[in-house]
Amino acid sequence: MKLNRKAMSESGKLNRRTFIIRLLMAGSAFVGFLLSVPVIGALITPLLEKNKQVWRSLGNIDEYQVGNTVLVNFKNASSLPWAGITDKTAAWLRRVSENEFVAFSVNCTHLGCPVRWIEDADLFMCPCHGGVYNKDGSNAAGPPPLPLPKYPVRVRNNHVEILTSPIPITTLGEKTA
C-alpha cells in the first residue's frame, strides 16, 4: 500500500496538519496584504498629485518691507487633515520692489539641509556642509550643485501668494549656466 499524502483523509475531511498549513498561509497572505497597502499608496500618491499646485496666501503686502528677506511658513499643496506638523513648509521671501517678490526654497540643493539667511552678509548659508548662496539664490561657495530653487510668487488683491506643490521644490530645480 502506497503512502497517501493527499490533503484529505480517507473520510474526505481535512487532516490537522493540512488545516494548520493552510491557516498559516492565509494568515501570512493577509498580513502581507496589510503591509503592502501603505507602500503602494506611497508610490501611487505622488503620481496622482504630480501637477497639483495651490496658491497660498502669505499675508498682506504691507507686512513686508522692500529689501528685507524673511522666513514665511505655509501649508503644503497636498495638505491632509491628519498630516500634523508635516503639513507645514517654509520659504525665504524677499520684497524686491513695491510689487515684486521672490521666494527661495529653505532647502540646500546639496543634501536638503535648511539654509538660513545671514542679513549682514546678504547670503544664504547651509550649516551642514558649508554651502553658500548669494541673495539672488545663485551659488557662491561650497558643494551645492544648483542655485536655490525659486517658488512662483504673485501679488493679488493686496496679498502676497506663493505657488506650492506636493513634490519638494528641490527636485524641480534645473541647472542654470
Does residue 176 fall inside a structural domain?
A: no
Backbone φ and ψ for 114, nearest 5 degrees, come out as -75, 125
Is the pTM value of this prediction over 0.75?
no
Let me know: does 92 contact 117? Beta carbons within 8 Å: yes
> For 139-172, how does the pLDDT look when each residue is reduced to its tens digit (9 = 90+)?
888 888 889 989 999 999 999 999 887 655 544 4
Angle, alpha carbons 83-106-115 (nearest 5°): 130
**Tally of domains in the chain:** 2
Mean pLDDT, rounded, of the chain: 81
156 shares its domain with 125: yes
Range of the domain at 78: 54-171
112 shares its domain with 25: no
Say which CATH number the domain at 104 has. 2.102.10.10
43 shares its domain with 68: no
Does residue 153 fall inside a structural domain?
A: yes
114 shares its domain with 78: yes
- The three cell numbers of residue 84 are 500634523
Share of the chain above pLDDT 90, in %: 31
What count of residues does the chain have? 177
Indicate the residue type of 138. Answer: S
138 shares its domain with 79: yes
